[in-house]
Amino acid sequence: MASLRLNQVFFSWEEFFETVSKYCAETYQPFVKSSCKTCSQANKYVKPGQRMYPPEMGYVYYRYSCTHAGTFKTAGSGKRETKSNKQGCEAKILASLDRKDKTKIVVKQINEEHNHEISPLLFESYVQQRQLSKSEKAIAEELVRLNIPSKTLQIEMSRLSGKRLIVQDLHNIRKAVRLKDKLAAASGTDGQLDVHQVETAGRSETVSTLPSLHKAHSSANAEARDVKTNDNPRYVTFTRPGIPDWCFDLHTNAPSLMSLVGVIEDCWVFSLAQRISEPFEHTLIFNRELRKDGYMNFQTDYEMNMAQAFYTDSLSKWPLRAKYAYGMHTSCFVTNFLELRGAASEDPMVRVTMCSAFVNSKTRKLVRSLPEWFKRTLDGKENLQKGLNIERLAPRPNETYRKKMMVLLSDIDGNKHTNYKVYIRGCYDALQHAITTKEMLRPIKIESATDGPSGEMTGTNPNVGNPSASANDSHKEVLPKWLTADIMKKGIKTLRAKFIKESLCGEEVTTHVWQERDKPLWVFFSMERETTNGNQVLFEMSLEYFGLMSNL
């Protein structure tokens, strides 16, 4: 327990502030700073021959008064009946530099006699306890800019900060953000956000480009060469640098999943920017043009297939030959695909098919139909007979491996929601975590150069590092049963993902991981939001591993 007593000595103001802060929290006394004098200010009035205050000490004195100190004197015009905290409470704390040794801070006065009630509940409700830190305020401001309702903001920010916020606090932040943005617009500078104006036909739309995973496209695209577009069927091909060494897992000949997803995104973003001039100047599949017309596209389905050869040393992964093709469209869904080939190979080593839903950028609701000009220009130029539609997973079992994660500000993309890669990464992280835990719990294999063939010791690994993964932990029952780290090293054969609902910064989501008896090389994921009405599924994913490849 922090103690504070008369004549107590401190050697820095930080030490004093920390002690007072702890003391207030433990005794529920609402002290606020009421007065101080800085050394630099006091030194201005020091006369010749007089001793200076050491500037490094910061303050000459510092006084706290009770938030109920003083009397209320209105400065208003009498339009409203006013309330005031002021009720003449005399409680105060005063500390100042020692008269002789000005490097010491001495507590000169303490009066703890308050003329009002002191209680934990009251203490929590004072504005000082509700104030957000700079970083918390920055997050709140970002969320305000994302147009999240005040009530949701109140709940999320209270959970994030652990403070008892009221809705009015969020209204005040909203007001400050509006003012800040107005001033930034007036001065012609942008605020903390990277905001740019996108010209659209007859109007302008402000698009926020938060720092995000989605923005981190590699410079490899700048080195793309042999770019060729084809109108009918519609596709673009190009050669670009391969996958850098640092993207590769230690134990496989293929890049880690997230690195590969990143390279794939680089390729498709590059492809979308390619222009075709006949019959008029436009981009490959009109993504930019559709955006200007008030459409946004949200990823809905994603399937990645890897060839066995992808995991062999013999297949060169540098440079990469890429082909991105328009697949087909239905009323508001567009399916496209990307193929990556090695320098000398004709068969694609990776093929990704992706389906996007087009929504109204204002209402974020599915549009009834894509524009006529889009259909007119692309009809007949399809590369696919049917679109991608990943089936929903069967209801998950109750017994799963679970991992929670918080959606961070940097996870939000230009569409103002959690970027698709964050879901994939979250699932993959949960799987890695589950497998690591499982590895720690398995019987130890002892390999010795002198003892000959490896033996097996019963019991659990004594080096289990995860305290939640003890032998009696319920997680032991729900770890993936058939998948092992060894199987995972053989590489992913198929990834299927379905994006179901949006999620926002500050939300806590739970990833469930499980396996099914008849599919030992598959692992399934469901990312869910817990609500009072039960769990809402945001995202589903399944991974299939190459498990039986003896030649690797």
Partner DNA sequence: AGCTGTCAAGGCTCGCAGGC
Partner DNA sequence: GCCTGCGAGCCTTGACAGCT
Question: Any contact of residue 164 with DNA (CB under 7 A)?
Answer: no
List the one residue from 8, 27, 32, 248 that touches DNA (CB under 7 A): 32
100: exposed, middle or buried (Cβ count in 10 Å: 0-12, 13-18, 19+): exposed
* Stretch near DNA under the rule CB under 7 A, chosen from 35-43, 189-197, 214-222, 253-261: 35-43
Secondary structure letter of residue 103 according to DSSP: T
Question: Any contact of residue 166 with DNA (CB under 7 A)?
Answer: yes
User: Residues 87-126: x/- map of binding to DNA (CB under 7 A)?
Assistant: -------x-xx-x--------xx----------------x
Question: Any contact of residue 81 with DNA (CB under 7 A)?
Answer: yes
Least distance in Å: CB of 152 to DNA?
7
Sign of CA dihedral 353, 359, 365, 366: negative
E strand or H helix at 418: none
* Stretch near DNA under the rule CB under 7 A, chosen from 11-19, 74-82, 341-349, 471-479: 74-82
Rounded CA-CA distance 126/202 in Å is 49
513 phi and psi, to 5 degrees? -125, 130
* Stretch near DNA under the rule CB under 7 A, chosen from 41-49, 114-122, 326-334, 487-495: 41-49
Q: Which residues of 360-396 are buried (b: 16+ CB within 10 A; e: fewer)?
A: ebeeeeebeebbeebeebbeebbbbeebbebeebeeb
Rounded CA-CA distance 308/177 in Å is 53
User: Interaction with DNA in 51-70: which residues (CB under 7 A)?
Assistant: 51, 60-61, 63, 67
Instruction: Kindly tell me which of 122 and 485 has the beta carbon lying closer to DNA.
Output: 122
Question: Any contact of residue 8 with DNA (CB under 7 A)?
Answer: no
Instruction: Kindly tell me which of 9 and 198 has the beta carbon lying closer to DNA.
Output: 9
Question: Any contact of residue 362 with DNA (CB under 7 A)?
Answer: no
Question: Any contact of residue 134 with DNA (CB under 7 A)?
Answer: no
Instruction: Kindly tell me which of 41 and 115 has the beta carbon lying closer to DNA.
Output: 41
* Stretch near DNA under the rule CB under 7 A, chosen from 20-28, 76-84, 343-351, 482-490: 76-84
Least distance in Å: CB of 16 to DNA?
13
Residue 441 near residue 461, CB atoms below 8 Å = yes
Residue 310 near residue 504, CB atoms below 8 Å = no
Question: Any contact of residue 474 with DNA (CB under 7 A)?
Answer: no
Rounded CA-CA distance 8/200 in Å is 67
List the one residue from 84, 133, 206, 461 that touches DNA (CB under 7 A): 84
| Count of positions (residues) in the chain | 552
* Stretch near DNA under the rule CB under 7 A, chosen from 2-10, 144-152, 364-372, 383-391: 144-152
Rounded CA-CA distance 123/162 in Å is 14
Residue at token pair 């230690």: 250
Which runs of consecutive H residues, i.e. helices, occur in 72-166? 120-125, 127-130, 134-145, 150-161
Q: Which residues face 339 on adjacent strands?
A: 323, 351
Residue 320 near residue 270, CB atoms below 8 Å = no
Of 343, 350, 348, 321, give the one whose Cα is nearest residue 261.
Answer: 350
Instruction: Kindly tell me which of 47 and 376 has the beta carbon lying closer to DNA.
Output: 47
User: Interaction with DNA in 283-302: which residues (CB under 7 A)?
Assistant: none
Residues in touch with DNA (CB under 7 A) = 32-33, 35-38, 41-42, 44-47, 49-51, 60-61, 63, 67, 72, 74-77, 79-86, 94, 96-97, 99, 108-109, 126-128, 130-131, 149-151, 166-169, 171-176, 178
